Amino acid sequence: MPITSKQIVEFFILAAMGAALYSGVTLYHHWKYKQALQSPNQIRHCGKFIEQTKVVHERFGRSDRVEHIYTFSNELGVSFSFTGSRPVIKQLPRLTSLQPEQPICFQYTLTAQERNGRFFTLTKIE
């Protein structure tokens, strides 16, 4: 069955729509992270890095998506978990090389949340 010019046009239209959607979502997440970085409502704690956890999200018919969760604790032992989204890793590349029990100060904002409000946004580590 030969491919018609109509099918080729439809394919390119769908490909362009998919690329536009992907670009829009990516730009939105980067914009939200930029807002978090500029937020005056930053909360800072010092403590230690606890662990990096990988959460695998199975997707039907496609490759699994791996989400990295970074957990810290403050001086009182209260735990805080943050996602390692692309904008966060780009801003804080050192995050991927932290060692368990490593002393660290971390900063986050309550005004921007990630993953449908489950995690606050990590904005700085020292």
Question: Can you give the residue ranges of every domain in the chain?
Answer: 36-125
Distances (CA, A) of 72 to 32, 45, 65, 86: 23, 9, 23, 19
In the chain, count H helices and then E strands. Answer: 2, 5
Distances (CA, A) of 16 to 9, 20, 22, 54, 77: 11, 6, 10, 32, 49
The fold of 36-125 is OB fold (Dihydrolipoamide Acetyltransferase, E2P) (2.40.50)
What average pLDDT does this structure show over 13-24? 85
Please state, in angstroms and rounded to a whole number, the distance separating the CA atoms of residues 12 and 1: 19
pLDDT digits (tens, 9 = 90+) for 48-67: 999 999 888 777 767 777 88
- Greater model confidence, 81 or 114: 81
Q: Token pair for residue 65?
A: 């998506």
User: What pLDDT sits at residue 107?
Assistant: 95
